């Protein structure tokens, strides 16, 4: 027997319609690419999204067409998110930090019909345009006064001219909720990037889940600042979740340095911010150097790579900001797990709380996960056994765009994340490694992340990466590659001594190499592949 409830389709357009109707006067504040601060309301954003939908219709954009964006976090980008998906086309956010060859590959693979770009990315678009034959025009996200005087782009349109002549009467079509709404490519550290095609249904369910109290806990009283870019997994869904609850939205544009972020947080009263550890490191350095405080910030969500426990402690103890460590990936929309304490942890000493909060957390309701061994056999949830992390849920990828690489699923339903993790008896998952970063020593595995966290807890270390280096007897042994904090000293022996008593003795790294800086990907993650190349011929003293 079927249930007898309405089959109302879950659509992205319903989110902005709700924001307009019930939170119409709530502000969206953006640091504009042209300079200065731009502010308007949800009501204005909805109106302009409808104008844009009319303009795109006139340009010939049809349902399922891909429309690309290369843009910072700003109000026009938000309008594009809603206009393109809302009209039944697919909003393809492109990460401008990828290599140009990857970018033209992605644009060609997606067959983007138009690409909307911030002024910052005009030179990049000029470089890409000769290789991107599907693109009918590059739409520059600015007004007539700021349009570049000279550009080698053949077909350019001005965003404000386009929408300025359009009516704001537009009726969002009633789509099937399984219609594709947006497209993101994985960064493709191995092989070509692969496209993950989100649906209206997956996007709306993800936004409902993400605002829950033990998740982002967002409400109409919050002021939300996504520092994670809108070109990276939809800024973790915040452009949807903030509107879903009617929170004020603060979009920082291209100003990701500590000083710019802090200034905007204070002037706009930001209560909740989301970002990757590297960006937060810049922010914390800034407040430390200037003696500044966070007067309104209460919660920050940190993810994308392991949040060093020292960062959680600094935020909590020095600034009274709680850190919610989260894990996810492009293939999971991205929210998979979030780390918050349970009632029984309330009276634990701070050190014990910190131990829990350093984990990646338990599955967001809707996501199911397990860890398995090499043969696919499920491993115990004892916080010790570690194996390949598998997930499933309504906002997890089923297959890649255009069927690339065949079905990624195991047993027809589990998505293998490529991460190695433990799960404890309370369900808290902890990533021990990316499967390709695990250090294999004498047939046993050593977690590079755990060794990095210890190195980064040393007061003189700014950043550290641990990689496996070839060893004649053990196959691989760990090498710490570390950057010292400016003006501080630490020797190889001192740093290795710092591991004593913190881990099993055989996990202790064999050597330390001090470097000026570490390589990062376009999204701020350690580029260990590059490090492994750089240190391919490294001779360990123990070898
Ligand atoms: P890409 O896969 O394109 O590099 P993603 O943003 O999808 O970019 O990266 C997902 C990966 O990032 C995860 O599989 C995991 O390895 C890593 N990751 C994400 N969040 C965390 C976290 N909190 N702790 C450790 N690793 C994380």
Q: What is the pLDDT of residues 470-492, one digit of tens each?
A: 999 899 999 999 999 999 999 99
| Alpha carbon distance 144, 265 (integer Å) | 30
Q: Given ligand 1 and candidates 307, 337, 428, 431, which is best to mutate, with the most ligand atoms within 8 Å of its CB?
A: 431
Query: Cβ distance 43 to 25 under 8 Å?
Result: yes
| Alpha carbon distance 115, 126 (integer Å) | 12
The catalytically annotated residue of 331, 452, 463, 476 is: 331
Nearest to 262 by CA among 302, 291, 236, 301: 291
Dig out the tokens for 536 from the structure: 């391919």
Residues 195, 200, 202: CA angle, nearest 5 degrees = 70
| Alpha carbon distance 449, 436 (integer Å) | 12
Q: Give 373's pLDDT tier (boundaries 50, 70, 90).
A: very high
Instruction: Give the DSSP H/E element, type plus range, for residue 41.
Output: strand 37-41
Atom of ligand 1 nearest to the CA of 360: 23
Atom of ligand 1 nearest to the CA of 331: 7
The catalytically annotated residue of 440, 444, 494, 533 is: 440
419 Cα: distance to centroid of ligand 1 (angstroms): 8
3-state SS track over 148-180: CCCCCCCCEEEHHHHHHCCCCCCCCCCCCCCCE
Q: Does the annotation count 440 as an active-site position?
A: yes
**Model pLDDT, residue 34:** 96
Radius of gyration of the chain, Cα coordinates, nearest whole angstrom: 24
Alpha carbon separation from 391 to 168, 369, 398, 444 (Å, rounded): 42, 4, 11, 25
What is the CB neighbour count within 10 angstroms for residue 369?
23
In order, the DSSP letters of 403-432 are GTTS---BTTTBEEEEEEEEE-TT--EEEE
Does residue 432 have its Cβ closer than 6 Å to ligand 1? Answer: no
400 has pLDDT over 80: yes
**Model pLDDT, residue 190:** 61
| Alpha carbon distance 77, 140 (integer Å) | 11
Condensed to tens digits (0 to 9), the pLDDT of residues 525-542 reads: 888 889 999 999 999 998
**Model pLDDT, residue 543:** 84
Q: What is the pTM of this model?
A: 0.91
185 burial via Cβ count (<10 Å: 0-12, 13-18, 19+)? buried
Contacts of 506 (CB under 8 A, 6+ apart): 441, 444
Condensed to tens digits (0 to 9), the pLDDT of residues 162-180 reads: 999 999 999 999 999 999 9
Q: Give 465's pLDDT tier (boundaries 50, 70, 90).
A: very high
Mean residue pLDDT across the chain: 95
Q: Does the annotation count 203 as an active-site position?
A: no
Dig out the tokens for 121 from the structure: 């990315």
**Model pLDDT, residue 253:** 97
Q: Give 188's pLDDT tier (boundaries 50, 70, 90).
A: low
Dig out the tokens for 244 from the structure: 């879903």
Does residue 417 have its Cβ closer than 6 Å to ligand 1? Answer: yes
**Model pLDDT, residue 55:** 98
294 Cα: distance to centroid of ligand 1 (angstroms): 28
pLDDT above 70 coverage of the chain, percent: 99
| Alpha carbon distance 83, 12 (integer Å) | 10
Does residue 309 have its Cβ closer than 6 Å to ligand 1? Answer: no
The length of the chain in residues reads 543
Does residue 329 have its Cβ closer than 6 Å to ligand 1? Answer: yes
Does residue 305 have its Cβ closer than 6 Å to ligand 1? Answer: yes
Does residue 306 have its Cβ closer than 6 Å to ligand 1? Answer: yes
Condensed to tens digits (0 to 9), the pLDDT of residues 437-451 reads: 989 898 888 999 999
Nearest to 445 by CA among 503, 498, 387: 387
**Model pLDDT, residue 147:** 98
| Alpha carbon distance 439, 478 (integer Å) | 7
The catalytically annotated residue of 186, 203, 330, 508 is: 186
H-only helix segments in 237-349: 238-245, 258-268, 277-290, 309-313, 319
Alpha carbon separation from 283 to 223, 275, 463, 515 (Å, rounded): 18, 10, 15, 22
| Alpha carbon distance 419, 432 (integer Å) | 8
Alpha carbon separation from 524 to 279, 519, 536 (Å, rounded): 8, 9, 23
250 Cα: distance to centroid of ligand 1 (angstroms): 24
Does residue 327 have its Cβ closer than 6 Å to ligand 1? Answer: yes
Q: Does the annotation count 332 as an active-site position?
A: no
Name the phi and psi angles at 300, rounded to 5.
Answer: -135, 140
Alpha carbon separation from 52 to 144, 208, 268 (Å, rounded): 16, 26, 28
**Model pLDDT, residue 405:** 83
Q: At which residue do the structure tokens 């079905």 appear?
A: 407
**Model pLDDT, residue 184:** 98
Residues 30, 35, 40, 43: what is their CA dihedral angle, to the nearest 10 degrees? -70
Condensed to tens digits (0 to 9), the pLDDT of residues 59-74 reads: 999 999 999 999 999 9
Q: How far is CA 405 from the centre of its chain?
A: 23
Determine which residue's CA is closest to atom 24 belonging to ligand 1. Answer: 306
Beta partners for 327? 337
- Three-state DSSP at 206 gives helix
Does residue 186 have its Cβ closer than 6 Å to ligand 1? Answer: yes
Condensed to tens digits (0 to 9), the pLDDT of residues 206-218 reads: 999 999 999 999 9
Over residues 267-288, the mean pLDDT reads 95
pLDDT above 90 coverage of the chain, percent: 88
**Model pLDDT, residue 189:** 59
Condensed to tens digits (0 to 9), the pLDDT of residues 495-526 reads: 999 999 999 899 999 999 999 999 987 777 88
Condensed to tens digits (0 to 9), the pLDDT of residues 320-342 reads: 999 999 999 999 999 999 999 99
Query: Cβ distance 59 to 163 under 8 Å?
Result: no
**Model pLDDT, residue 374:** 85
CATH code that applies to domain 439-535: 3.30.300.30
Q: Is the omega angle on the peptide bond into residue 412 within 30 degrees of 0, that is, cis?
A: no
């Amino acid at each position: 027997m079927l249930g007898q409830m309405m089959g109302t389709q879950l659509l992205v357009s319903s989110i902005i319609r709700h924001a307009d109707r019930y939170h119409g006067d709530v502000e969206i504040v953006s640091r504009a690419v042209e300079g200065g601060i731009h502010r308007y309301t949800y009501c204005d954003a909805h109106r302009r999204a409808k104008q844009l939908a009319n303009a795109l219709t006139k340009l010939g954009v049809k349902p399922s067409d891909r429309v690309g964006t290369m843009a910072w976090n700003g109000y026009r980008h938000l309008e594009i998110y809603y206009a393109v998906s809302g009209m039944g086309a697919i909003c393809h956010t492109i990460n401008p930090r990828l290599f140009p060859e990857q970018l033209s590959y992605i644009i060609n693979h997606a067959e983007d019909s138009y690409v909307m770009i911030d002024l910052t990315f005009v030179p990049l678009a000029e470089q890409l345009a000769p290789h991107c034959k599907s693109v009918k025009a590059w739409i520059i996200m600015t007004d007539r006064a700021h349009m570049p005087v000279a550009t080698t782009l053949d077909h350019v349109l001005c965003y404000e001219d386009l929408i300025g002549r359009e009516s704001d009467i537009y009726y969002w079509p009633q789509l099937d909720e399984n219609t594709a709404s947006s497209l993101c490519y994985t960064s493709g550290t191995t092989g070509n990037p692969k496209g993950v095609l989100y649906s209206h249904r997956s996007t709306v369910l993800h936004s409902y889940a993400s605002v829950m109290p033990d998740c982002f806990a967002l409400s109409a009283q919050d002021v939300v600042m996504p520092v994670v870019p809108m070109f990276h997994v939809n800024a973790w869904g915040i452009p949807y979740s903030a509107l879903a609850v009617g929170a004020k939205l603060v979009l920082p544009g291209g100003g990701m340095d500590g000083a710019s972020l802090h200034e905007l947080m204070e002037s706009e009263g930001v209560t909740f911010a989301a970002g990757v550890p590297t960006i937060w490191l810049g922010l914390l350095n800034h407040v430390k150097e200037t003696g500044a405080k966070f007067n309104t910030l209460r919660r920050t969500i940190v993810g994308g790579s392991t949040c060093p426990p020292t960062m959680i402690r600094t935020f909590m103890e020095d600034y009274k900001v709680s850190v919610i460590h989260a894990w996810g990936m492009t293939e999971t929309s991205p929210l998979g797990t979030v780390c918050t304490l349970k009632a029984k942890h309330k009276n634990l000493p701070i050190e014990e709380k910190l131990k829990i909060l350093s984990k990646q957390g338990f599955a967001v309701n809707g996501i199911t996960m397990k860890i398995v061994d090499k043969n696919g056999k499920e491993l115990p949830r004892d916080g010790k056994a570690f194996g390949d992390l598998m997930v499933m849920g309504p906002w997890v990828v089923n297959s890649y765009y255009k069927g690339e690489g065949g079905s990624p699923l195991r047993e027809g339903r589990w998505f293998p994340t490529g991460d190695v993790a433990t799960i404890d008896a309370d369900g808290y998952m902890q990533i021990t490694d990316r499967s390709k970063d695990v250090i294999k020593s004498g047939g046993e595995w050593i977690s590079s992340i755990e060794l990095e966290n210890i190195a980064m807890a040393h007061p003189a270390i700014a950043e550290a990466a641990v990689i496996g280096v070839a060893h004649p007897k053990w196959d691989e042994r760990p090498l710490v590659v570390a950057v010292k904090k400016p003006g501080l000293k630490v020797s190889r022996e001192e740093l290795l001594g710092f591991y004593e008593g913190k881990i099993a003795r055989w996990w202790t790294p064999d050597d330390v190499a001090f470097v000026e800086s570490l390589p990062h990907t376009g999204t701020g993650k350690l580029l260990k592949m590059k490090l492994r190349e750089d240190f391919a011929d490294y001779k360990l003293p123990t070898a």
